[in-house]
Structure 1
Amino acid sequence: MNKPPIEIVYDDRERAEILIKQLSKQTDLRLVRKRLNLGDYQINEWLIERKTLSDFVISLCDGRLFSQVSRLSKSPNNTALLIEGSSRDIAAYGITREAVMGALCSIAINFNMPILRSLSQAESAKILYFCATQLNSWETGVISNGRKPKRHKNRQLFILQSLPQVGPKLAKRLLIHFESIEAVFTAPEEELLKVEGIGQEKARGIRGILTSTNKRGHNQPD
């Protein structure tokens, strides 16, 4: 039985003809072109923003970089930044290597965002392909070394994501804070509010769905 192709969605505004052409050569991929509100590529629950190194430096210099990264990090999806190019591409900008390194460290540490590096569109295509196959392997329960990942935590996160307005990132924060699904389900609103990303409305919504009952009485006909 043939496996279904792995889907990679790419934003219809993305200008990367070589990259897309290289990906289209992979027979186990299916490329979908559509408008993405955030990121340039989506693979399962991951959004990947692609920036050339020159774009990265320009946005760093004009102050847009961290607002862009912040907006991306607030997505309910997992997010990563793919930076493409070499130091030759930014030689004329007069920016120090230390400034670029500092920005990369800030993104990785403060925003908890993985950073992927490539030298060209062709190499970016390979990285996206590797990401897609690795994520697909995890979802199907087999990783590249042939061992199965721990499924218990994945099932816990899947259950938590069924709560109102809880995406992958928030589900992880809930599980880290409360350590068990039972503790999340029994937590009062004030305790839920201690978790980053949960405000009064979201906490009320979670408690509402967990404590709601069928209002139809037992003596009423079905």
Structure 2
Amino acid sequence: MQTPVISLFYDDREHAESIIVQLSKHDDLSLIKKRLTLGDYQINEWLIERKTLPDLVLSLCDGRLFSQIARLAESDFNVALLIEGKSQDIIEYKIHREALIGALCAISIHFHIPVIRSQSQTETAKLLYYCAKQLNHHTSDLKLTGRKPKRQKNRQLFILQSLPQVGPKLAKRLLCHFLTVEAVMTASENELIQVEGIGKKKAKKIRKILTASYY
């Protein structure tokens, strides 16, 4: 059986030729150069933003980092942040380690964006390939895993937390507002934005996932 080819899009402004050269060695990858509005790489429904450690530090110091992260988090895609480089790369930058750790924690916890670490472009290419393989497998064999709660209220909250950008607190507010899971699932965008924590973009994402065709 022939191995399926995975499409990996990369932004035409991404200056990392070594990464593309390494990725081009894989016969099961189809590299497609295009202008990406957000992110540097796109695999299925995922965007991967690549930042070198110096770029991360500079964007944190000049205030660009969290505005960029916010735009990524508000997109219709799932997003991951790939940070490339070694601590020696920023040894001359005047920034405390605690500031970097705090920023990465905020990105992971508040914006729900996973952070991937790489030491070089060669390692980045390997990580992107592994991500492509994992995401392709995940798409073709999607299963809901994890321990499922037994109490009815907890099961209802569990279901609602599968919606885009809906965590435990927001799931509870939705259930308190609409009273039933069915009412949440059938609510319009205008009805959803009446709930604290749901704006127009989030409401649109929720309705999109609920109404999209499987095929």
Given that 1:173 and 1:196 are in contact with CA atoms closer than 8 Å, whether structure 2 keeps it comes out as no
Q: How many residues align?
A: 181
Alignment of 1:173 onto 2:174 = no
The match for 1:199 is: 200
Shift in Å at residue 45 of structure 1? Answer: 0.3
- Unpaired segments of 5 or more residues in structure 2? 146-161
Between the aligned partners of 1:49 and 1:94, the Cα distance in structure 2 is: 24
Given that 2:5 and 2:28 are in contact with CA atoms closer than 8 Å, whether structure 1 keeps it comes out as yes
Shift in Å at residue 47 of structure 1? Answer: 0.5
Residues 114-157 of structure 1 show CA distances to partners (whole Å, capped at 9, x for unaligned) of 0000000000011111111001111111xxxxxx7239xxxxxx
The match for 2:100 is: 100
Percent identity between matched residues is 55
Residues 31-62 of structure 1 show CA distances to partners (whole Å, capped at 9, x for unaligned) of 00000000000000000100000000011111
Between the aligned partners of 1:18 and 1:181, the Cα distance in structure 2 is: 49
Shift in Å at residue 15 of structure 1? Answer: 0.4
Looking at CA atoms only, which structure, 1 or 2, has the larger radius of gyration? 1
The match for 1:7 is: 7
Between the aligned partners of 1:64 and 1:86, the Cα distance in structure 2 is: 21
Given that 1:8 and 1:42 are in contact with CA atoms closer than 8 Å, whether structure 2 keeps it comes out as yes
TM-score of the two chains, using structure 1 as the length reference: 0.72
SS of equivalent residue, structure 1 residue 67 = helix
Q: Which amino acid aligns with 1:123?
A: E
Residues 164-217 of structure 1 show CA distances to partners (whole Å, capped at 9, x for unaligned) of xxxxx96463995569873334336665122744439x67xx6xxx9xxxxxxx
Between the aligned partners of 1:9 and 1:180, the Cα distance in structure 2 is: 40
SS of equivalent residue, structure 1 residue 93 = coil
The match for 2:74 is: 74
The match for 1:218 is: none
Between the aligned partners of 2:181 and 2:44, the Cα distance in structure 1 is: 24
Q: Which amino acid aligns with 1:184?
A: V
- Unpaired segments of 5 or more residues in structure 1? 142-147, 152-168, 211-222
**Relative to 1, partners in 2 of residues 1:133 and 1:181: Cα closer, same or farther, differing over 3 Å?**
farther
SS of equivalent residue, structure 2 residue 136 = helix
SS of equivalent residue, structure 2 residue 81 = strand
Between the aligned partners of 1:180 and 1:121, the Cα distance in structure 2 is: 49
Higher mean C-alpha deviation, range 64-73 or range 180-189: 180-189
SS of equivalent residue, structure 1 residue 51 = strand
The match for 2:133 is: 133
**Relative to 1, partners in 2 of residues 1:131 and 1:181: Cα closer, same or farther, differing over 3 Å?**
farther
